[in-house]
Amino acid sequence: NTLNQSRDAYGFTRAFMLTGNEAYLTAARRALDFLYAHSWDRTHGGVYAELDRMGNPTHPTADKSAYEQHYATVGPAAFAEATGDTAAWRWLNQVTAYEDAKLWDSTPGRDGYFDHVRADGSAPDGKSFNATVDALTTHTLALYDLTGDERYRQRAVQLGANILDHLTPTLDQNAIGFAEQYSADWRPDGSQTMTIMGHVLKTAWCLGRLQGIAPNSAYLPAAEKLVDDVWTRGYDHRLGGPYKDYNRTSGQMLMWGQRDTAKAWWQMEQAITSGLVLHHLTGEPRFLQMADETLAFYMRYFVDHTYGEVYENRTRDGRQIWDVNKGSSGKAAYHSTETGYYIYLYGHLLLRGEPATLHYRYEPLPVARTIRLTPIDDADLRITAVLLDGQPYLAFDGAARTLSLPAGFGGHFTVTYAPTAPTAVADSAPTTPDGFRLDPAAPNPFNPTTTLGYQLSTGSHVKLEIFDALGRRIRTLVDEPKPAGQYTATFDASGLPSGLYLARLTVAGRSRSQRLTLLR
């Protein structure tokens, strides 16, 4: 299952980012190498849905769905984020180009992703929840966060408009939930009556995430309406957590031949993530209550504390239902890993305002790079510290959330993020002490010398030091008492390699810093 290969690679990649264990990256790369080698239709383009164990497509003439194309990107997108891997980027560009060419409907008034095309990419038809909302969660938001490319933000805004214009209005026409299948011109499919509580909550989560990158006064009211629909009609207020599936027109729960009601592991995730994000954005206690109650139920009844992983489905009160499967061919560990990943980030950064640390592995390249790091869609986030192979690394811009790698630099990076406090100052000046300043270097970039100016309003002991990008002190330009006044010091970088350096002025235990770039 192509979708499963991609999702498992996502799970392994997030496991590495949380733990720093590079064995997970090896496993992710194996899954992705298989995906890259066998899943692409070299005749017509697009991704095959299923392969045999040798990599041959089992149904080469089957329709291609937007759902499968979207999820073929989720593993490569996470891997590109964690490693900057060029093969992952090529795959992302290839799949998104196919989607733009074959699946995107640019017709005014009906724009959006088609639900499916034929095997050869012809006869696009239908619109759907999966074609729309899953595009946001798999790659559109991730690619904007990774690149800052306006075309990805614009596509995210278009998908947000699809949600506001077509999905959420059907809430008022149904007993519960919204229509999930549509015609190509966005008319709800009356023959499809199932609504899935996880899909309603996931849509609210995406609107909250969109608010972080493209604020819109309509996003939060619509997200609140979606969550409240589940909260009032499809949620277990006794034990916690959303129920599973309903008939949207009658409002009746779908029992699927069982005597008891069911809850699904991936739908629990959507209650947790949407609840945490919307609580952060609105301060409404019911959203946090939903996240807390659902997580408590999930940890108690879904997680197998003996053998690991999580069960697919449980009854209303947490007992076994149908079978004891953990995951499925389509989802496997993806949702359980994603749940843990976002609980960690949202819990620390959004809920408690605490730092969170993630791991990255970038191989050295012959060219310099600036890497954008934005693990969640929230502008009020900054990088506060970076380690390279366990040692302090100074070549980062905390406010811009970028990491600078000179040519030939690479290794295992440990990056700590924190919410931006209202009184935060620029990253180049982690403290702003009174009574002295370090003036920008002139010239900068420089070769091979540059001059730094500094000013003291009172006499004090002064230390002016130069550090390389790894945090190693390579020069001490000044280390002595000085009276009040204006001073200069020359940094001669003869014999040093091109790259980023940091000048740090310390007076009475307080510091100012200035980045320097040596270009030969």
47-96 pLDDT, tens digit each: 999 999 999 999 999 999 999 999 999 999 999 999 999 999 999 999 99
Q: What is the predicted pLDDT for the residue at 330?
A: 62
Counting Cα atoms < 13 Å in the Cβ hemisphere of 232 gives 10
Where are any strands of DSSP class E within 233-364?
Answer: 245-247, 262-264, 313-315, 356-362
DSSP string, 97-125: HHIIIIIEE--TTS-EE-SEE-TTS-S-B
- What number of other Cβ atoms are within 10 A of residue 222's Cβ? 20
CA distances to 254, 260, 326, 328 from 323, in Å? 18, 14, 9, 12
Contact 310, 318 (CB under 8 A): no
Strand order in the sheet with 449-456: 436-442, 449-456, 485-492
Cα–Cα dist 277/182, whole Å: 28
For residue 516, the SS3 value is strand
Q: What is the predicted pLDDT for the residue at 380?
A: 86
Model-level pTM? 0.85
Contact 23, 15 (CB under 8 A): no
413-458 pLDDT, tens digit each: 999 999 985 432 333 333 334 567 888 788 888 899 999 999 988 8
DSSP H/E element including 146:
helix 141-147
**Residue 398 structure tokens:** 């905390």
Q: What is the predicted pLDDT for the residue at 76?
A: 98
Cα–Cα dist 434/79, whole Å: 44
For residue 438, the SS3 value is strand
Contact 501, 465 (CB under 8 A): no
Contact 314, 243 (CB under 8 A): no
Cα–Cα dist 501/441, whole Å: 12
Residue in the structure block whose two tokens are 């990256």? 25
Q: What is the predicted pLDDT for the residue at 428?
A: 38
**Residue 383 structure tokens:** 């990088």
Counting Cα atoms < 13 Å in the Cβ hemisphere of 352 gives 8
- Encode burial over 281-311: b for 16+ CB neighbours within 10 A, e otherwise: bbebeebbebbbbbbebbeebbbeeeeeebb
Residue of 357, 368, 372 whose CA lies nearest to 403: 372
Q: What is the predicted pLDDT for the residue at 473?
A: 84
Q: What is the predicted pLDDT for the residue at 424?
A: 29
**Residue 188 structure tokens:** 């709800």
Q: What is the predicted pLDDT for the residue at 432?
A: 37
- Residues of the chain with confidence (pLDDT) below 70: 327-332, 421-435, 470, 509
